[in-house]
A and B are shown apart, each in its own frame.
Chain A
Amino acid sequence: MTLLFENADWTPEILERIYEECCRIGEEELKLTWYPNQFEIVSYENMLDVYSSVGMPMMYNHWSFGKSFINNSELYKAGKMGLALEMVLNTNPCVNYLMDENTATAQALVIAHAAIGHNSFFKNNYLFKQWTSADSIIDYLGFAKKYIAQCEEQYGIDEVEKILDAAHSLMDHSVDMYTKPKILSAREEREKQKMRDAAHEANYDELWSLIPNTKRAAELPTNRFLPNGPEENLLYFLEKNSPILKSWQREILRIVRKIASYYRPQAMSKTINEGWASTCHYYIMTRLHEKGLIDDGSFLEFIKLHTSVVFQPEYDSKYFSGFNPYHLGFSIFADMKRMSQNPTEEDRLWFPDYAGGNWVENWHYMYQEFRDDGLIQQFLSPKVMRDMKLFSFDNRENSRFYKIADIGNESGYKNIRNSLAYETSIGYRSADIQITDVDFNTRTCILTNFTSNNIMLDESTANKTLDYFRELWGFKVVLVTVDRQSNFELDRLETD
């Protein structure tokens, strides 16, 4: 076999050969499928642009993207931040951004990582299959960008910015958790939006505005109710029910919540996605070396890059900033391969269905059928817990001490695994806020934050967010924090 490249320099032809060889290993040995790949070679400036439009090749304009752009470029220029070697999008075809400063080895690494690893994950993981439509997102963003630009022209940048600011603050709580979103289509969206406008115009009748409000209010029943039960998708609720929004404003809320849905799976699959991509790049690069396609020097360079990517500082290190998803995910996948090939007694006890099995099949099951918390719950092995020296502790608000709960031993493994899985779940990481009630007399909207273990909302941001909600709702808004178990009211925030 001849080497794919001999020094750090690369050309498009070399990239193509690297990709070809990576594909061969991915298809033949790992049995993977993925979306067609598209590589875009970018300079650091282009990369900064990509960074600040949340990775999308196209995005509507908003100051918050400018803020992150300025922030990123200042940090980068001051040498305080390195840029990622690549950036990849869940689109079909899958767009991979490669930095032009990367060496040939680094390009091989990122091709294996993103074009094979992430891409196969996007295509085959159940979350992404269910929640996102890679085929149409770019198209949809094109529609969104154009629509918002039109609104800016028609109603002024300030008006549009106000709506976007408010919508962005509620975006995390505007995803349907239980129903699968419909596949997006830009054309359909455009037509629907036109139909909504037309219907609005057709039904418009000056007479309605002449009916005195007081009389209507009196006719309404005094009890409060929500016909469809509580609503967890805040922007959906506002889009459909806000008494004050104009149709273009509702449309913008719709766009923001559609985009929020698209991003939701990313937030729930950081560990498994990065773990899987790292597993792929590690396997493929090792095989390239074994096949004599890259030389020892390049392999050493790869090992150095790889270790810095999956480095996990310990909790008392000054470099510690939480779990490194690359490390955790990679360790879990690597351990699955180990226990498939060389199972120990312990593995057979803990993983009777997998130990001694076919590692490729096991990997497939893992990366396709789980998200972060599920992966940890099912596959975090005692060996990995020991290697990482995991321990758990209780942090009670009213105690001056942390109490160590479990360490990595026979009696602790299961508990630690449960705790870590829970800690990684979206249920723990974000607040559960639902619209539970509307008073039809005063038009007061009541939001309930269901919490447990007395975990409260960050008050300063909650107040501001509530103000944004009020802006979109138009009337008084109340946010009640309630204990999930006892239904006991813990806190109450109100707008005027």
Chain B
Amino acid sequence: MAVIIDRRKNPPGKSLVNRQRFLRRAKEQIKAAVRKSVSEKQIRDVGNGEQVKARSKDFTEPTFRPDRNTGDHRRVLPGNKEYEPGDLVKKPPNGGGNTKGKKGSAGDDAEDDFEFTISREEFLDYLFEDMELPDFIKEAMKTIELTKPARAGLTTSGSPANLNVERTFRNSISRRIALNRPTDERIDEIRQELAAATDPKLIKELTELLEDLIARQKRIPYIDENDLKYNLWTPQPKPRSQAVMFCLMDVSASMGEREKNIAKRYFLLLYLFLQRKYEKIEIRFVRHTTTAQEVSEDEFFYGRINGGTVISSGLELIRDIIADDYPVSEWNIYMASVSDGDNSLHDNELVDQIMREDLLPIMQYVTYVQVDREDEDMINTYLFTYSDYSVWNTYSQLSQEFKNMECARVTDQNQIWKIFGELFAK
């Protein structure tokens, strides 16, 4: 007698621990891949099925094994066509592709580089580790959004609690009619007739009929398994609204590669946050020098233009875009802006005014990151930052007054998360 066990219901992932052991070993390569992905991919695509190329040399499992390219061998092969003993056949150069010279190594495990995909979850783990995110933000980022069960038609199996009585009975009734199942009333009727009857012939007939009816009634169940219908519930994501995210960046010459890299991580983090909260997210990119322009993501991060800085131009453009495309009643509006703090003389007043009157009242959350240069000496920074040219004072003043505004100065990508502290602490 054979034992048959159905293991399909066993969750796969017995190898999960081993997979993690492997990833642990491939850590550096995965980190590199994550970094590359963040800097090269569009914000929307980051983290979706990240390919990681693992160098084989870090994962060799060496053994003592004979090198088939050395020494003298006599080998046997199938499929002789025209060879006679003593024939000489020129060896292909370098052992040659799939011909005799290489045959010895067939079956030995060839150690090629191989690529594998890390899951989104794994990707985020490495990204966050790279950015040194504190735990409470990591947790918030990874929480799966809430679902609620929604009706999704009927099914033939389920728990008794979900039994759809009406449908079940509809089936039961039609089946009973179709199969001509005797009703209780009909049987009662015959019983009464039988009780009233006196003619032995009639009694016999009725008794037989009654037995037949009772037998039929037993054979055809009142409710058959086929009748059962259950309500089917499937988990549906809670209805979520839509959000638009404005990325505003000063692209004047003072913003270098390092600043832009930090900026990208900053925008990415906001995007990831919004992703777990909203179903539909639009991202608009606005860059500015002395004038503002809406651009594609590629241009946003990689285009270079020269010029001075008028921050208010960007804010004005965003205000206009909102007015055109995003009715405040339907959209949740977020803005993330980044600059090196440099602004034109007298523009700060305008910035203050637009923010205060037009933007902050309609936006969910506004963040401002000022990337400070690493190499700047302290005195310069001091003078520069607190000079009239800097927008820092304006923004930090606003952030103290408005609850939905946060700003931070960073010199390094690891500090970006601070700006989202408020957002995630909720």
Interface residues of A, Cβ cutoff 8 Å to B: 12, 15-16, 19-20, 36-43, 45-46, 48-49, 52-53, 61-67, 69-71, 74, 93, 100, 115, 157, 161, 165, 168-173, 312-318, 320-323, 388-397, 399-408, 411-412, 416, 419-420, 422-423, 429-431, 433, 449, 451, 453-462, 464-465, 468
In Å, the complex CA distance between A462 and B91 comes to: 27
| Shortest Cβ distance from residue A492 to the other chain B in the assembled complex, whole angstroms | 14
Is the pair A93, B67 in contact by a Cβ cutoff of 8 Å? Answer: no
Interface hit among B71-79, B134-142, B207-215, B347-355? B71-79
The interface size bin for chain B is: 35 or more
Is B160's beta carbon under 8 Å from chain A? no
Chain B residues, CB < 8 A from A16: 2, 4
The 5 A-B residue pairs with the shortest CB-CB distance, nearest first, are: A314-B79, A66-B22, A45-B12, A455-B71, A66-B18
Q: Identify B91's interface contact among A20, A171, A400, CB under 8 A.
A: A400
Query: In the complex, which residues 55-113 of chain B have their Cβ closer than 8 Å to any Cβ of chain A?
Result: 59-81, 83-91, 98-101, 103-104, 106-107
Is the pair B88, A62 in contact by a Cβ cutoff of 8 Å? Answer: no
| Shortest Cβ distance from residue B11 to the other chain A in the assembled complex, whole angstroms | 9
Is the pair A468, B103 in contact by a Cβ cutoff of 8 Å? Answer: no
Is the pair B4, A41 in contact by a Cβ cutoff of 8 Å? Answer: yes
Chain B residues, CB < 8 A from A19: 2
Chain B residues, CB < 8 A from A449: 64
| Shortest Cβ distance from residue B84 to the other chain A in the assembled complex, whole angstroms | 7
Is the pair B83, A407 in contact by a Cβ cutoff of 8 Å? Answer: yes
| Shortest Cβ distance from residue B29 to the other chain A in the assembled complex, whole angstroms | 13
| Shortest Cβ distance from residue A176 to the other chain B in the assembled complex, whole angstroms | 17
Chain B residues, CB < 8 A from A61: 17-18, 21
Among A61, A171, A312, residue most surrounded by chain B Cβ atoms (within 10 Å): A61
Is B401's beta carbon under 8 Å from chain A? no
Among A165, A323, A402, A456, residue most surrounded by chain B Cβ atoms (within 10 Å): A402
Q: Identify A41's interface contact among B7, B66, B87, CB under 8 A.
A: B7
Check A42/B8 contact, CB under 8 A, given A316-B79, A397-B72.
Answer: yes
Is B13's beta carbon under 8 Å from chain A? yes
Q: Identify A169's interface contact among B63, B69, B78, CB under 8 A.
A: B63
Is the pair A407, B80 in contact by a Cβ cutoff of 8 Å? Answer: yes
Query: In the complex, which residues 357-415 of chain B have their Cβ closer than 8 Å to any Cβ of chain A?
Result: none
Known: A157-B21, A393-B77. 14 other contacts (CB 8 A): A41-B8, A43-B12, A67-B22, A69-B15, A74-B117, A169-B63, A389-B80, A392-B74, A393-B83, A393-B89, A402-B91, A430-B64, A455-B68, A458-B66
In Å, the complex CA distance between A20 and B22 comes to: 43
Q: Identify A404's interface contact among B67, B85, B107, CB under 8 A.
A: B85
In Å, the complex CA distance between A283 and B23 comes to: 46
Is the pair B63, A465 in contact by a Cβ cutoff of 8 Å? Answer: yes
Chain A residues, CB < 8 A from B116: 70-71, 74
Tell me the nearest residue of chain A to B86, going by C-beta.
Answer: A404
Taken residue by residue from 1 to 44, chain B's Cβ proximity to chain A (1 for < 8 Å, 0 otherwise) reads as: 01111111010111101111111110000000000000000000
Is the pair B78, A404 in contact by a Cβ cutoff of 8 Å? Answer: no
In Å, the complex CA distance between A419 and B75 comes to: 7
Q: Identify A39's interface contact among B2, B8, B12, B24, CB under 8 A.
A: B2
Chain A residues, CB < 8 A from B70: 397, 454-456
Is B114's beta carbon under 8 Å from chain A? yes
Is the pair B106, A457 in contact by a Cβ cutoff of 8 Å? Answer: no
In Å, the complex CA distance between A61 and B14 comes to: 10
Check A461/B63 contact, CB under 8 A, given A315-B79, A391-B83.
Answer: yes
Q: Identify A416's interface contact among B5, B12, B76, B79, CB under 8 A.
A: B76
Check A394/B86 contact, CB under 8 A, given A15-B2, A52-B15, A320-B98.
Answer: no
Is B115's beta carbon under 8 Å from chain A? yes
Q: Identify B83's interface contact among A394, A399, A404, CB under 8 A.
A: A404
Chain B residues, CB < 8 A from A461: 60, 62-65
Is the pair A403, B76 in contact by a Cβ cutoff of 8 Å? Answer: no
| Shortest Cβ distance from residue B370 to the other chain A in the assembled complex, whole angstroms | 41
Check A40/B106 contact, CB under 8 A, given A46-B10, A74-B115, A459-B67.
Answer: no
In Å, the complex CA distance between A53 and B2 comes to: 25
Is the pair A46, B80 in contact by a Cβ cutoff of 8 Å? Answer: no
Chain B residues, CB < 8 A from A93: 3
Tell me the nearest residue of chain B to A67, going by C-beta.
Answer: B22
In Å, the complex CA distance between A165 and B59 comes to: 10
Is the pair B14, A457 in contact by a Cβ cutoff of 8 Å? Answer: no
| Shortest Cβ distance from residue B135 to the other chain A in the assembled complex, whole angstroms | 22
| Shortest Cβ distance from residue B85 to the other chain A in the assembled complex, whole angstroms | 6
Is the pair B14, A419 in contact by a Cβ cutoff of 8 Å? Answer: no
Tell me the nearest residue of chain B to A158, going by C-beta.
Answer: B24
Is the pair B12, A46 in contact by a Cβ cutoff of 8 Å? Answer: yes
Among B5, B64, B67, B88, residue most surrounded by chain A Cβ atoms (within 10 Å): B64
Check A458/B67 contact, CB under 8 A, given A93-B3, A315-B79.
Answer: yes
Among B21, B78, B80, B88, residue most surrounded by chain A Cβ atoms (within 10 Å): B78
Is the pair B60, A63 in contact by a Cβ cutoff of 8 Å? Answer: no
In Å, the complex CA distance between A200 and B398 comes to: 71
Check A70/B67 contact, CB under 8 A, given A320-B98, A395-B101.
Answer: no
Is the pair B87, A404 in contact by a Cβ cutoff of 8 Å? Answer: yes
In Å, the complex CA distance between A286 and B382 comes to: 90
